Amino acid sequence: MRLSRRRPQPEDPAPAREPERIPQRWVLILITAFLGGLTVGGLSGWAGAGVATAFGLVGLLHRIMN
């Protein structure tokens, strides 16, 4: 007589989780900051000024929208 050994099966498999999404507010903030930084950096020719402006806009828009 042959006894089969089966692996124990999980009773309830974990449900599939949805991937976390970035809130629309942050998408708007980041796009606006990117465009503002690109404008300042592009017009002045200084990449540093554009990056600094982008960070400043992110902070400002975050403050305004909260």
Residue-wise pLDDT for 21-42, tens only, equals 777 877 887 787 777 777 776 6
Helices and strands in the chain: count of H runs, count of E runs: 2, 0
Domain residue limits, the chain: 30-65
1 versus 4: which is more confidently predicted? 4
Query: Residues of the chain with pLDDT > 70: what percent?
Result: 61
* Contact present, 61 and 33 (Cβ < 8 Å): yes
Query: If you average pLDDT over every residue of the chain, what do you get?
Result: 72
- Number of residues in the chain: 66
* Contact present, 56 and 48 (Cβ < 8 Å): no
